[in-house]
Chains A and B, each alone.
Chain A
Amino acid sequence: MTDHVIVVDLGYGDAGKGGIVDWLCSQPAALGAGGRPFHAVVRFNGGAQAAHHVISPGGRAHAFAQFGSGTFSAGVRTYLSRFMLVDPLAMTAEAAHLTELGVPGPYELVTVDRDALLTTPYHQAANRAREAARGAGRHGSCGMGIGETASYALLHGADAPRAGDCAAPRTLNRKLSLLRDRLAADAGFPRRATPPPAAVAAAYRAWAGRVTLADEEHLVRLLRAGPVVFEGAQGVLLDEWRGFHPYTTWSTTTFANARTLLARSGESALRLGVIRCYMTRHGPGPFVTEDPTLDLPEPHNRGGRWQGPFRTGHLDAVALRYATQVCGGADAVALTHLDSARRRAGELRVCRAYLAGGQRVTRIAPGPDRDLAYQERLTGMLLAARPVYDEADRPAARDWPEAVAEIVGAPVLVRSDGPGAAAKTACLTGVSR
């Protein structure tokens, strides 16, 4: 049974995963006729920095960070897997907003793997202290301590606070105190600028009393009980190993983690890549097709203090082919922002080649696995590259699905013509496999 779906952004993030997940979960049958609806969303990478914007049935926007973007559909639960970095404090703010939007009892919808790492105010303080020290050489961090959480766990695995520790007050207190001491010394922030561990521990314990803590066996049951959506965060071009180092994120943004989780149950899933009709990127880093003259509406994504400006540019077929290749291919595409493509028909282009070092380049060759030196050379090449456009390559609105399907080598299965589930439609365009 392959009713499960993995939703991953094939670009630099912000392509509209939230809207797609929301739409999938609102469908009476998972994909196709006769099936059952999706009943759970699993997060398998990243952390609280995700901001998947969805319009509620009441017409209000919510930025899903640690609740699955399917939460507005009744009965859809969220499972934060062991690959997720969990920020309990941010979750309380998100839960309060969801309550305001009419989601009854949001905490009861959430099950957290006991092994999931916790992102704490100390990680955030370290993140901001270091990013401030980098000055102009910023990496585009979002200031929420995601990278600090991951790196601390690499260095001090056994001491890193995890969700399960919230049920063990003594362990939790010890780990939080140790964490604050170490990071304050290492990143150079004053300890007293952060809340005392006892206060953090108390809030965490209260939080753990509201959500459900579980082991991975829970996921096995979820998968057997019905179709599940795996909701990726960020985008493949930001992947920690395959992105353009060092302008990457501390997480695996491909289908890989989701497939690891599925493998345990012997289940498989449809790999759905999300793509906008144009590219966007938050903060610094390579963006060959960036075009500041493109003035496209972006109600939710604005420049962040820590993250840098929000940038837009033309569809980059070269980068998207690379993304598809490094994640082992996609089975289908969800193509979003077709309303912009219609409004800006003739203005939005497709870039199929770069000019780099005096040469015409049509392909970014994936390097060896986990070779950051190679990735860094790619970054240098891309930062110097210029886009090459075919003047005629400005698809009409109706031709976009076909064009994108050809680039990715997979059919467009869902199209989005605007915000809200009502603007999404199932279709089947392009390459048949």
Chain B
Amino acid sequence: MGSGRWSTDVYEAAARLRGGASAFAHSDSGARNVHPALNPFGVGARESRDSAEHPESLAIAVLFDVTGSMGAVPRALQAKLPQLLGLLLRKGYARHPQIMFGAIGDATCDRAPLQVGQFESDNRMDGDLERILLEGGGGGQKTESYELAMYFMARHTLADCWEKRRKRGYLFIVGDEMAYPKVKPREVRAVIGAELAEALELRAMAAELTQRWDTYYILPEGAAYAGDGQVLGFWRALLGQNVIELADLDAVCETIALTIGLGEEAIDLDAGLADLADVGSAAGPAVSRALTLIGASHGQLVAGAGPAALAGPPGTGGSAGGDGQHRSGDDDLDFPSGNIRL
């Protein structure tokens, strides 16, 4: 191989690039069903546990919409997300992160309405990313089964950071559509294999979820409903300011990592934005506004009323209605912290 220190064999390089995940191996193999490793049916709970090596684990889950409206975004996420762990550790944003990746589809018509990997402390979760089936389906009503994923996260995860230390984990949902208004027992039974006595209202679901998970919604540019006022308003009504418009998909890991860094008080906003600029991301200004609000809210407990209590029901023309007004600056401040503590 000549005197070059590093092999330039194209096939070896391709294998290395695949080996590091982002290979879409499962989807590209022609698979049409959820990989067994990611099937939520009958799993009981996904666990994030402390260990000798990681005595203070911090659970982090990233679930992204894999339906057609997202266009090329899921593939880009599959390529970028393996960098998240390294980024958190390298920047010192979190000491013992345990990351889980998963995917969200549409329970009313998809083959893969929900896919969930395992919480891992090393790069094994990259394997889960590879196994995610990219659906390309979805119903075209601007709605996907986010509520089912929220239900799974609320009731079918066990995280030591919460169980032992009453410290919430982080949940990031990356998507471009709205959730269905209720968690339906039929779908819970069919997809997760669990019994739910009666349908759960979305707002109650969100309130339950955010007790244990500091939950963020990320709407990436390049998705069909990016910049859609109705979609943004919907999530702001549900999660308050924990809604991030992501202008630069390349910066998805940095955005997630910064959010965690702010939450962990490992950095302040200025340092975080400098880090973002460092990677050459053009997302700085866009992320900056979202993170400014998030950054400002940390350290303040919001007791009692969550944003869901202030906003009208999603999609009913309440203050979160589809007029897009909440995209402009100060309106966001109408919503208190999305970190609901009930």
A interface residues (Cβ-Cβ under 8 A, vs B): 39-40, 48-49, 51, 63, 65, 74-75, 77, 79, 87-97, 104-105, 107-108, 111, 121, 124, 128, 142-144, 195, 199-200, 202-203, 206-207, 209-210, 212, 214, 218, 221-222, 225, 304-307
Contact = CB atoms under 8 A, between A and B. Distances in A.
Given A108-B253, A210-B79, A214-B280, 15 more contacts: A51-B5, A89-B13, A92-B17, A93-B6, A95-B16, A96-B16, A121-B10, A143-B2, A144-B4, A199-B10, A200-B10, A202-B14, A206-B22, A209-B76, A221-B278
11 contacts: A48-B8, A79-B280, A90-B4, A93-B12, A105-B86, A121-B8, A202-B14, A209-B79, A210-B20, A218-B280, A222-B278
B182 interface: no
Contact of A108 (B4, B10, B83): B83
Interface in B120-155: none
Contacts of B22: 206, 209-210
Interface residues of B, number: 39
Given A74-B90, A107-B83, A203 B10 contact: yes
Closest 7 pairs between A and B when the two form their complex, measured CB to CB: A105-B86, A304-B3, A104-B86, A214-B280, A209-B79, A93-B6, A218-B280
A322 B115 CA distance: 66
B90 A128 contact: no
Given A203-B10, A207-B17, A214-B280, A104 B3 contact: no
Contact of A206 (B11, B17, B83, B278): B17
Contacts of B278: 39-40, 77, 221-222, 225
B89 interface: yes
Contact of B9 (A39, A77, A89, A304): A89
Nearest to B83: A108
B8 A108 contact: no
A200 B9 CA distance: 10
Nearest to B10: A195
Contacts of A74: 90, 92
Nearest to A300: B5
A144 B2 contact: yes
A65 B5 contact: yes
B14 A203 contact: yes
A247 to B, nearest CB: 16
Interface string B12-46: 11101110101100000000000000000000000
A90 B8 contact: yes
Nearest to A105: B86
The listed residue with most A CB atoms (<10 A of its CB), out of B4, B9, B82, B90, is: B4
